[in-house]
Structures are given as structure tokens and as C-alpha cells.
Amino acid sequence: DNEDRRRDASEKLQSYLISQRMDDPVIVLGDYNDDINGKTYETNVFYNLASSASDYLFTDMEIALGSPKYWSYPSYPSHIDHILITDELFSNVDTTMVLMPDKCYPGYRYTVSDHRPVEIILK
């Protein structure tokens, strides 16, 4: 099942970060193919990371909890493209946003991607 596979991958990612990158500043970004805003293990396949607030931060959580107008996958609609950082970068986060090239380039969705890019600005 896809949900179980993503949950397993999230647990393996956390294990890797702990064993191989414990003190490194790490950014993990991309199409995670699932929501991050569930409040329990059963409703969020990334709960192990989302609930470890002292170690990890989904910098786009505010977007995920906000208006669908700003989500990264508007045709579904959902917000499944995320940016996860480790605690070494917490103080460097300035802004996270979803860019909307489809508003400027009507063919974007059909010729480039049906996802909008998620951007982070670090200071």
C-alpha cells in the first residue's frame, strides 16, 4: 500500500538522518506525495518527522494548513510538495512559499508540470 510505503520511507529517512547526518544541516525537498498536516500517526505518514519539532521542521507547514489557493498541486487540490530541514537550519529560515508560474504562463501545467514549485529562502 502506498501509504505504508511512504510511512516506511519516512522512518528510514529519520533513521538515516540520525545515524549519518546527526550534526549536519540537511534540506530534504520534493514531491512527498502526501499531506503533512495530520495530527496522529494514523493520519500523517510523516508523523515521525512532523512530531519531532526539536529536530525537524517542515518549513511549508503553514502553507499545508492554509488556503488551497496556495497549495503546490492545485489540480488535485492538495499540498504534497514539501521542504524538511534539520534543526541546524532552523534559525536560517526566512521565507517558504509556493511559486505560481501557472498564473503567468497558462501552458505551465501542461508543458512543464502540474505541480507548483515550493521555494525556501535562507538567510
pLDDT digits (tens, 9 = 90+) for 21-67: 999 999 999 999 999 999 999 999 999 999 999 999 999 999 999 99
1 pLDDT above the threshold of 80:
no
CA–CA separation, 41 and 99 (whole Å)? 30
Q: What is the DSSP letter of 83?
A: E
- Residue 119: strand pairing partners: 97
Non-local CB neighbours of 2 within 8 Å, separated by 6+ positions:
33
pLDDT of residue 52: 96
CA–CA separation, 46 and 69 (whole Å)? 23
pLDDT of residue 75: 87
pLDDT of residue 22: 95
Q: Per-residue pLDDT averaged across 60-89, rounded?
A: 96
Non-local CB neighbours of 108 within 8 Å, separated by 6+ positions:
101, 102
Strand arrangement, sheet containing 81-86: 27-31, 81-86, 56-58
Do 118 and 83 touch, CB atoms closer than 8 A? Answer: yes
Q: Which among 95, 91, 90, 99 has a CA at the least distance from the CA of 117?
A: 99
